[in-house]
Amino acid sequence: MRGANIRKKKIPVKSRRFPDRYKSGKKRAQSYLKPQIAPVLKSVLSRIGVPESAPFVPDDFQLAALEEIKKNDCLVIAPTGSGKTWIAREAIVSVIEKGGRAWYASPLKALSNSKWVEFGLHFDAKNVGIITGDTKENTEAPIIVGTTEILRNQLYDAMHQGIDLNCDLVILDEAHFLGDPDRGVVWEEIMIYLPARVNLLLLSATIGNGEEIACWLEEIRGKKCAVVREEKRPVPLYPLFLHPSGCIYPFLEGKKIARQVADCIKKNGRGTTGASDSPNYAAIIMVLEEFNLLPAIFFLKSRADCNAALMSRAGLEPLTQTKSSDEDLRKLLERFPYLEGHRQLKALRSFGLAAHHGGQLPAWKLLVEEMMKRSQLRVIFATTTIAAGVNFPARTIVLFNSDLFNGHDFLPLSAIEFRQMTGRAGRRGQDNIGFLLAVGGRFMDLYHVRRLLYSAPEDISSRLKNDFSMVLNLLLSQTPDDVNKIFERSFAAYQQSKADSKSSSSAAAKLWEDFSRHLYFLQQEGFVDREGRLTDDGHWASRLRLDYPLMVAQCLRDSIFPQDDENLLAALVAVFAYDREEEIRIASRDVPPKLLASLRKVNRALRPLARRLTAAGFDAPKLYLSAGAAMYHWAQGRSWDLIIRTTGIAEGDMATLVLRTADNLRQLASLKDTHPQVAACAYKARDAILREPVLFL
The pTM is what?
Answer: 0.91
Q: Chain-wide mean pLDDT for the chain?
A: 90
User: Do residues 223 and 254 share a domain?
Assistant: no
The per-residue pLDDT for range 254-285, each reduced to its tens digit, is 999 999 999 888 887 655 544 446 789 999 99
495 closest CA partner among 242, 67, 178, 107: 178
Per-residue pLDDT at 15 exceeds 70:
no
Q: Which residue has the higher pLDDT, 676 or 33?
A: 676
Domain termination residue (choose one: 528, 554, 580): 528
On whether residue 436 sits in a domain, the answer given is yes
- pLDDT band, very low/low/confident/very high, at 697 (cuts 50, 70, 90): low
Q: Which residue has the higher pLDDT, 134 or 290?
A: 290
Q: Domain with 681 in it: what CATH number? A: 1.10.3380.30
On whether residue 695 sits in a domain, the answer given is no
Q: Domain with 129 in it: what CATH number? A: 3.40.50.300
User: How far apart, in whole angstroms, are the C-alpha atoms of residue 496 and residue 502?
Assistant: 9
Give the DSSP letter of residue 321: P
- pLDDT band, very low/low/confident/very high, at 475 (cuts 50, 70, 90): very high
User: Do residues 84 and 34 share a domain?
Assistant: no
User: Do residues 522 and 563 share a domain?
Assistant: no
What percent of the residues of the chain are helix, what percent strand, and what percent coil, each to the nearest 5?
50, 10, 40
Per-residue pLDDT at 26 exceeds 60:
no
User: Do residues 294 and 188 share a domain?
Assistant: no
On whether residue 533 sits in a domain, the answer given is no
Q: What is the mean pLDDT of residues 520-529?
A: 98
Cα-Cα-Cα-Cα torsion 613, 619, 624, 627, nearest 10 degrees, comes to -100
User: Do residues 300 and 184 share a domain?
Assistant: no
Structural domain including 615 reads 543-689
Specify the pLDDT at position 339: 94
The lowest-confidence range among 10-14, 237-241, 652-656 is 10-14
Q: Which residue has the higher pLDDT, 168 or 365?
A: 168
On whether residue 410 sits in a domain, the answer given is yes
User: Do residues 358 and 331 share a domain?
Assistant: yes
Specify the pLDDT at position 578: 95
Specify the pLDDT at position 277: 60
User: How far apart, in whole angstroms, are the C-alpha atoms of residue 639 and residue 475?
Assistant: 44
Share of the chain above pLDDT 90, in %: 77
Per-residue pLDDT at 13 exceeds 90:
no
User: How far apart, in whole angstroms, are the C-alpha atoms of residue 683 and residue 660?
Assistant: 14
Per-residue pLDDT at 170 exceeds 80:
yes
Specify the pLDDT at position 696: 67
Specify the pLDDT at position 265: 87
Backbone φ, ψ for residue 435 (5° rounding): -130, 145
Per-residue pLDDT at 524 exceeds 90:
yes
The per-residue pLDDT for range 394-447, each reduced to its tens digit, is 999 999 999 987 777 889 999 999 999 999 999 989 999 999 999 998 889 999
On whether residue 536 sits in a domain, the answer given is no
The per-residue pLDDT for range 591-638, each reduced to its tens digit, is 899 999 999 999 999 999 999 999 999 999 888 989 999 999 999 999
Cβ burial, residue 560 (10 Å; 0-12/13-18/19+): middle
Domain termination residue (choose one: 200, 229, 258): 229
User: Do residues 160 and 67 share a domain?
Assistant: yes
User: Do residues 27 and 119 share a domain?
Assistant: no
Q: Tell me if 126 sits within 8 A of 112, measured CB to CB.
A: no
Q: Which residue has the higher pLDDT, 109 or 304?
A: 304
- What angle, 0 to 180 degrees and rounded to 10, lies between the N-to-C axes of helices 625-636 and 566-577? 140
Specify the pLDDT at position 504: 56
Coil, strand or helix at 130: strand
How many other C-beta atoms lie within 10 A of the C-beta of residue 619?
Answer: 9
- What angle, 0 to 180 degrees and rounded to 10, lies between the N-to-C axes of helices 480-488 and 468-475? 110
Q: What is the mean pLDDT of residues 383-403?
A: 81
